[in-house]
Amino acid sequence: MKIIVKANEQKEIFIDNNASLDFVLENNASLLLKYAIFNNIKNITINGKLKKNAVLKAAMADFSNGKAKVNASIELDDIGANANWDLASLATGSDQKQFDISFIHNHQRTIANMNNYGVALNSSRLVFSGINYIKKKAKKSQTNQNAKIIVFDQNASGKANPILKIDENDVLASHAAIVGRLNDEHLFYLKSRGLNEKEAKALIVNGYLKPIANHFESKTKLRIEKMIQEKCHV
Amino acid sequence: MNNLVIKNLHVSVDGKEILRGINLTINEGDNVALLGPNGHGKSTLLMAIMGHPKYVITCGTIAFNKKDVKKMSVDERSKLGLFLGLQNPSEVPGVNNSDFLKNILNVRREKPMSLFTFYKELEGAYQKMGIPFEMANRNLNEGFSGGEKKRNEILQMLLLNPKIAMLDEIDSGLDVDAINVVAKIINQQHQKGTALMVISHYARLFDLIHPNRAVIMVNGKIVLDGKADLIKRIDKEGYEWIKQELGIDINKIEHNQVSIGACATKVALKEQNK
Ligand SMILES: Nc1ncnc2c1ncn2[C@@H]1O[C@H](COP(=O)(O)OP(=O)(O)O)[C@@H](O)[C@H]1O
Ligand SMILES: [Mg+2]
């Protein structure tokens, strides 16, 4: 699928399958991009270019099954381009999912913000590798990346590789990445305050996954909440 | 009348026997200081009462208001009114503190609180504790300093209003001002009818909360259960005198001295003698 949002126009796209996407946001254009993937996942490639003062707000809710790579590469090509990316991914069973998300600041005064949240259960594997690349001359740019994975089971694994590549001095960049493993001490702590096992786990998975639901309209929102309940048994 | 009755409690950790026959009763209105040298089983006692799976009860009983606590899950014990302020509170990743607090309040109510009532209550509790309300939006204990974690424990005690609060070295990591605030909250909680069992190595906290009893644990046993003036004596003289007066060798913990078999036999003998 290829989309061009013309100068000064606004567009909203909702995709509930494995469709790949190429898009260009022209000057002052804005795009609200919402992905919700519930069934089997296949490789997805997203390429985007943002022109002057273009705004991207992207949210991806991934509750799919399977083995795949999602590759998103967003280029901030002109002054004032602003991109925001929120991802929540749940890996269960023997899923193997990798998300390579990159923001490339090609021009000065561009802003990017990336949040990747994930939960890995059973014997699944979840990898977030986010790249924020500020090129030479892209001064006064701001870039931020936040990656968090919680791993529930012994055989599950999670990995967060945040990469900041900065070729310019006069910029603001930050990143945080945490892969946590749920252990008996956490569960005991929550239980000792009156939560049973199910309630304790629900509190944790909801903390990671539920906020993404707010990006979607009510039908999808409910579906996300139901998915969390069913797949996490909470 | 609330009471916690512990009889002949033996507890093992990783197959090592740590508690060797604890007999202890905490009555309503009690404010008990639990003292003893490092590593002699104080925390183990509290963990076993709360039901941590690592602390295995090999024999003995724990009853709260005549109910068999041993048979209950950890969360049931909490709902029954037992509260344990941990020596080392866990950092639970990804759980928002205020979400957590809302959940632990709501699971003990028929109907969930309205968001407004909850925030009012929470704000009040933070104010009492002198903690900035913004802390509610951080993740549960994640990146909290030692003192912040301890204050978060006391905040939970305040919100949950337990029947008995067991506080394990709640003063460690707190500065003088924070100790004063925490002691004030503990005193108010006690006045509301919560019985206390408090572990601390510092007389400062006890000076502020005035226990009515001091219990001394050595080698996994309670060797003294008496008046609060024991606290002063231990603060001055340490535990050496216990060795002399009671003939107990404090430094020698021989594990597996009492096997599970022996513990079971003792109980059997006791039952026969009834
Ligand atoms: N979770 C645990 N894992 C292994 N050993 C433990 C654990 N908790 C307590 N112990 C052991 O039990 C003994 C008593 O410890 P503890 O109850 O923490 O003592 P205290 O609180 O009196 O300082 C020590 O030998 C300690 O190493
Ligand atoms: Mg201890």
* pLDDT digit string, tens, across residues A147-177: 999 999 999 999 999 999 999 999 999 999 9
Please give the number of the atom of ligand 1 that sits closest to the Cα of B87: 21
Residues on chain B bordering chain A, Cβ-to-Cβ distance under 8 angstroms: 50-54, 73-75, 77-79, 84, 86, 89-90, 92-96, 99-100, 103-104, 107-108, 156, 160
Q: Would the pLDDT of B242 be above 90? A: no
**Residues A150, B84, B154, CA angle at the centre, nearest 5°?**
85
Q: Would the pLDDT of B15 be above 50? A: yes
Q: Would the pLDDT of B269 be above 60? A: no
Between B12 and B259, name the one with better pLDDT. B12
Angle of helix B176-191 versus helix B146-160 axis, rounded to 10: 10
- Rounded to an integer, the average pLDDT of B233-247 is 88
Is residue B198 within 8 Å of residue B218, measured between CB atoms? Answer: no
- Rounded to an integer, the average pLDDT of B147-174 is 96
pLDDT grade for B94, boundaries at 50, 70 and 90? confident
Give me the pLDDT at residue B256, please.
47
Give me the pLDDT at residue B263, please.
63
Q: Give residue B44 CA to ligand 2 midpoint distance, Å.
A: 7
- Rounded to an integer, the average pLDDT of B239-265 is 66
* pLDDT digit string, tens, across residues A35-49: 999 999 999 999 999
- Rounded to an integer, the average pLDDT of B57-84 is 97
Is residue A68 within 8 Å of residue A35, measured between CB atoms? Answer: no
Label the pairing between strands B67-68 and B82-85: unpaired
* pLDDT digit string, tens, across residues B115-152: 999 999 999 999 999 999 988 989 899 889 899 999 99
- The DSSP bridge partners found for residue B6 are B24, B62
Strand runs labelled E in chain A: 2-5, 10-15, 21-25, 30-37, 44-50, 55-62, 67-76, 82-91, 96-105, 111-120, 125-134, 142-151, 157-166, 172-181
Mean pLDDT of chain A, nearest integer: 96
Contacts of A182 (CB under 8 A, 6+ apart): A150, A151, A152, A201, A204, B93
Q: Would the pLDDT of A5 be above 60? A: yes
Q: For A179, which residue in chain B has the nearest alpha carbon?
A: B93
CA distance B135 to B226: 40
How long, in residues, is chain B? 274
**Residues B261, B267, B268, CA angle at the centre, nearest 5°?**
85
CA distance B164 to B196: 6
Nearest chain A CA: its distance from B34 CA (Å): 20
CA distance A129 to B205: 49
Mean pLDDT of chain B, nearest integer: 91
A14 touches chain B (CB under 8 A): no
- Rounded to an integer, the average pLDDT of B50-55 is 97
Residue identified by tokens 């991806």 is: A60
- The DSSP bridge partners found for residue B201 are none
Q: Would the pLDDT of A209 be above 70? A: yes
Residue B264 has a CB neighbour count (10 Å cut-off) of 13
Please state the ipTM of this predicted complex.
0.91
How long, in residues, is chain A? 234
* pLDDT digit string, tens, across residues A179-194: 988 888 999 999 999 9
Give me the pLDDT at residue B274, please.
44
CB-nearest partner of B79 from A182, A186, A194: A194
Q: What is the DSSP letter of A187?
A: H
pLDDT grade for B255, boundaries at 50, 70 and 90? low
Question: Whose Cα sits closest to atom 8 in ligand 1?
Answer: B44
Kindly state if the Cβ of B36 falls inside 6 Å of ligand 1.
yes
- The DSSP bridge partners found for residue A24 are A4, A49
